[in-house]
Chains A and B, each alone.
Chain A
Amino acid sequence: EDQVTQSPEALRLQEGESSSLNCSYTVSGLRGLFWYRQDPGKGPEFLFTLYSAGEEKEKERLKATLTKKESFLHITAPKPEDSATYLCAVQASGNNRLAFGKGNQVVVIP
């Protein structure tokens, strides 16, 4: 069974204080790892897809990296508008379903 564990569950950051979110996974053949952002009361919004170990992708203050066992979402110099829950999901080869972690809830304090 595919499993995704995200840590920490919750994180409070001062504006400008960089940090990283962790997504550890076990999957029988990784087809893709996905990061989403979710604001309260809204649907998740797609951020990144990573396909192979060593791959990195960036978008504004966010950078996602991937190894064979985990992914990191680095938040550089965060702003209050980066406050959200970040969801990690994996897709196994030959499977159309995504398995989601419980999320990292991030609050950035001005």
Chain B
Amino acid sequence: DGGITQSPKYLFRKEGQNVTLSCEQNLNHDAMYWYRQDPGQGLRLIYYSQIVNDFQKGDIAEGYSVSREKKESFPLTVTSAQKNPTAFYLCASSIGRNNYGYTFGSGTRLTVV
């Protein structure tokens, strides 16, 4: 079955540590997105990519980095520069410019310990 796989489901980060969240899709979608979800704040866009080897900053990109070396994969690194990383992270994909909505992964919950 086609879909988006996020891993791990739960992740714990120590102060000053970089961590990478995985997102893989087998839907043959061109565009991929990373969102952060905090209670009462809705989904906020971190980064998005419309094509391989290209990506753009979203509304809250500071302290995060991404890469898009393969169409299927869009990993997100939460760096030590992100001062408040505890949140639920969602990856999504869409067909492309004629976007007819997103397909979401199941999310990764990141906690700072």
Contacts and interface: CB of A to CB of B under 8 A. Distances in A.
Contacts of B100: 32, 49
B100 to A, nearest CB: 6
A78 interface: no
Contacts, number: 55
Contacts of A102: 40-42
Contact of A96 (B40, B50, B88): B50
A6 to B, nearest CB: 9
A59 interface: no
Interface in A18-45: 31-32, 34, 36, 41-45
Nearest to B40: A102
A43 B42 contact: no
A89 B27 CA distance: 22
A46 B109 CA distance: 21
Interface in A67-110: 87, 89, 91, 96-98, 100-103
Secondary structure of the A side of the interface?
strand
A41 B43 contact: no
B43 A96 contact: no
A101 B41 CA distance: 8
Kindly state the interface size class of chain A when it binds its partner. 20 to 34
Contact of B99 (A36, A91, A100): A91
B96 A96 contact: yes
Interface of A: 31-32, 34, 36, 41-46, 49, 87, 89, 91, 96-98, 100-103
Contacts of B107: 41-43
A108 to B, nearest CB: 21
Contact of B109 (A32, A41, A45, A98): A41
17 contacts: A32-B100, A34-B101, A34-B102, A43-B4, A43-B104, A43-B105, A44-B102, A45-B104, A46-B103, A91-B99, A96-B48, A96-B94, A97-B33, A98-B99, A100-B42, A102-B41, A103-B42
